[in-house]
A and B are shown apart, each in its own frame.
Chain A
Amino acid sequence: MVSWRGGARRRPAMTGGKRMRAPALLLLALFLDVSAAHGAKSQAAWNPIAPADFKSRDQVDDPDATAIILADIGSATFAGEFEVVMERGRRVQLLVESAYEAWGTVDIPFYAKDKHQRVSHIEGQTYRLTSGGTIERVQLDKKSIFVEDVLDGEYGRVRFTMPALSPGCIVEYRYTITSDSPAYLQEWQFQTSEPTLWSEFSAEIPVVLNYKIAIQGITQFDLDESAEGQWPLGLAYGNMAQLANIGTTTRRFAMRNMPALREEPFITTLDDYCARIRFQLSEYQFPGQAPEQFLPTWEELARNLMKDRTMGAQFGRKLGTRDIEKRARALTESVSDPEAKLQAVYDDVRTTIDWDGTHAVFADKDLDDLLISKRGSSAEIGLLLTDLLRASSIEAHPVLVSTRSHGSIVEVYPILSQFNTVMTYVKIGNREWLLDATDRHRPMNLLPFEGLNDRAWVVDADKPKWVKIARPGLRQRQIVVSAALAEDGSITGTLQAMNGGYSALRERHALDDVNGQRQSEDYVRDQWLKILENLTIESFEFGNREAPNMPLVVNCTFVTQPGSDGSAGFLLPAVWVKPVDQNPLNAAQRKFPIDLGCGIDEIYTLRLDVPEGLASPSLPDPIDYDLPGGDGGFHQRAFQNGSQIEVSSHLRLQRTLYKPDEYPALRELFEAAVAGHAQQLAIARADGVPEK
Chain B
Amino acid sequence: MTRRRRRRLSPGAWVGAALVLAGATASFRAAGAAAELDLRADELDAALAGESNALVRIDSLVFDVESPRRAREYRMTVVTILSVDGRDYGAVQVPYDRFRKLKSFDGRLLDAAGKKIRDLDDADISDFSNVDETSLYSDDRVRVGSLVHASYPYTVIYEYEIEHDGLISWPTWYPQRTSLPVERAIFVLRVPIGTEVRHRSLGIELEPVERVDRKRAETVWRAVALPYREEEEWGPAWSVQAPSILTAPAAFEIGGRSGSMSSWESFGRWYQDLHADRGTLPSDAFARVQEICRDAPDTQTKVARLYEYLQASTRYVSVQLGIGGWQAFEPKVVHAKGYGDCKALSNYMVAMLRAAGIDAFQALINAGTREQDILADFPSNQFNHVVVFVPLASDTIWLECTNSSIPVGYVGAFIDDRSALAITPDGGRLVRTPRSTAADNARVYRAHVRVDDKGGASATVTSVTTGVVRERVREAMRSGTAREREQWLEREIALSSFSISDIAFRDLDSARTQFQLDFQLEAPRVLSFSGERAFLTPNLLKDRSRVPPAMSERTQPVWLGSPWSEVDTLVYELPPGFSVESSPEPVHLETAFGRYDASIEEHGGNLHYRRHLSVDMDTIPADDYADFRSFLQAIAMSDHDKVALRK
A residues near B, CB below 8 A? 63-66, 95-98, 100, 105, 113, 138, 141, 144, 146, 148-154, 157, 159-161, 163-166, 354, 356, 373-375, 512-513, 515-516, 522, 525, 533-534, 564, 568, 571, 581-583, 616-621, 671, 674-675, 678-682, 689-692
Contacts and interface: CB of A to CB of B under 8 A. Distances in A.
Interface string B56-85: 000000000000000000000000000011
B139 to A, nearest CB: 10
Interface string B132-168: 0000110001000000101100000000000000000
A160 B337 CA distance: 12
22 contacts: A63-B482, A65-B481, A95-B481, A96-B481, A138-B336, A141-B337, A373-B150, A375-B150, A512-B84, A512-B85, A525-B549, A564-B637, A571-B644, A583-B497, A617-B533, A619-B530, A675-B497, A678-B528, A679-B530, A680-B528, A691-B584, A692-B584
Contacts of A512: 84-85
Contact of A63 (B136, B483, B528): B483
B274 interface: no
Nearest to A140: B337
B136 A159 contact: yes
Interface string B478-495: 111111100000000000
Given A96-B481, A163-B337, A354-B84, A153 B532 contact: no
A375 B84 CA distance: 11
Contacts, number: 163
B53 interface: yes
A674 B497 CA distance: 8
A678 B535 contact: no
B496 interface: yes
B336 A682 contact: no
B118 to A, nearest CB: 11
Given A64-B483, A64-B484, A66-B484, A165 B338 contact: yes
A166 B129 contact: no
B129 A674 contact: no
Contacts of B529: 620-621, 679-680
Which residue among B148, B481, B483 has the maximum number of chain A CB atoms within 10 Å of its CB? B481
A132 B50 CA distance: 72
Contacts of B337: 138, 141, 144, 163-164
A146 B642 CA distance: 59
Contacts of B173: none
Contact of A692 (B84, B530, B532, B640): B640
A373 B478 CA distance: 55
A153 B150 CA distance: 30
B256 interface: no
A contact patch SS: loop
Interface in B431-447: none
Nearest to B640: A692
A616 B529 CA distance: 12
A96 B336 CA distance: 21
B581 A689 contact: yes
Nearest to B644: A689
Given A63-B481, A100-B315, A678-B525, A152 B530 contact: no
Contacts of A163: 336-339
Contacts of B313: 164, 166
Contacts of B178: none
B136 A105 contact: yes
A516 B128 contact: no
Contacts of B633: 533-534
A152 B336 CA distance: 35
A674 to B, nearest CB: 6
B528 A617 contact: no
A159 B525 contact: no
Interface in B528-554: 528-533, 535, 549
B531 A582 contact: no
A513 B85 contact: yes
Given A150-B129, A152-B126, A522 B549 contact: yes
Interface of B: 1-2, 50-53, 84-85, 126-129, 131, 136-137, 141, 148, 150-151, 312-313, 315, 317, 319, 336-339, 404, 478-484, 496-497, 524-525, 528-533, 535, 549, 581-582, 584, 633, 636-637, 640-642, 644
A153 B338 contact: no
Contact of B636 (A150, A522, A533, A675): A533
A65 B480 CA distance: 9
Contacts of B637: 533, 564, 692
B641 A692 contact: yes
Contacts of B2: 153
A163 B479 CA distance: 19
A151 B129 contact: yes
A619 B531 contact: yes
A150 B136 contact: no
B638 to A, nearest CB: 10
A100 B317 CA distance: 11
Nearest to A114: B1
Nearest to B646: A689
Contacts of B151: 374
Contact of A515 (B53, B129, B141, B319): B53
Nearest to A156: B129
A636 to B, nearest CB: 12
A680 B1 contact: no
B482 A671 contact: no
Contacts of B141: 149
Given A146-B137, A618-B530, A675-B525, A515 B85 contact: yes
A502 B308 CA distance: 54
B533 A618 contact: yes
Given A153-B127, A617-B533, A680-B642, 16 more contacts: A64-B483, A97-B315, A98-B481, A144-B337, A148-B137, A149-B141, A166-B338, A354-B150, A356-B148, A512-B84, A571-B642, A618-B531, A621-B531, A678-B496, A679-B528, A691-B644
Nearest to A169: B338
B176 to A, nearest CB: 18
Nearest to A526: B549
B481 A568 contact: no
A682 B530 CA distance: 7
A203 B479 CA distance: 39
A518 B1 CA distance: 49
Contacts of B482: 63-64
B479 A97 contact: yes
A548 B432 CA distance: 60
Contacts of B524: 671, 675
B315 A165 contact: yes
A620 B530 contact: yes
Given A97-B478, A571-B642, A621-B529, A161 B148 contact: no
Given A152-B127, A617-B532, A159 B483 contact: no
B126 A616 contact: no
Given A515-B85, A618-B533, A682-B644, A581 B137 contact: no
B644 A690 contact: yes
Contacts of B640: 692
Contacts of A681: 530
A154 B1 contact: yes
A513 B84 CA distance: 10
What 10 A-B pairs are tightest by C-beta distance, nearest first?
A: A618-B531, A374-B150, A164-B338, A516-B51, A64-B483, A146-B137, A689-B582, A163-B337, A97-B479, A153-B1
A618 B532 contact: yes
Given A148-B129, A161-B339, A692-B642, A98 B530 contact: no
Nearest to B1: A153
A423 to B, nearest CB: 22
B479 A159 contact: no
B479 A680 contact: no
Nearest to A143: B333
A66 B480 contact: yes
A455 to B, nearest CB: 33
Nearest to B316: A100
Nearest to B136: A161
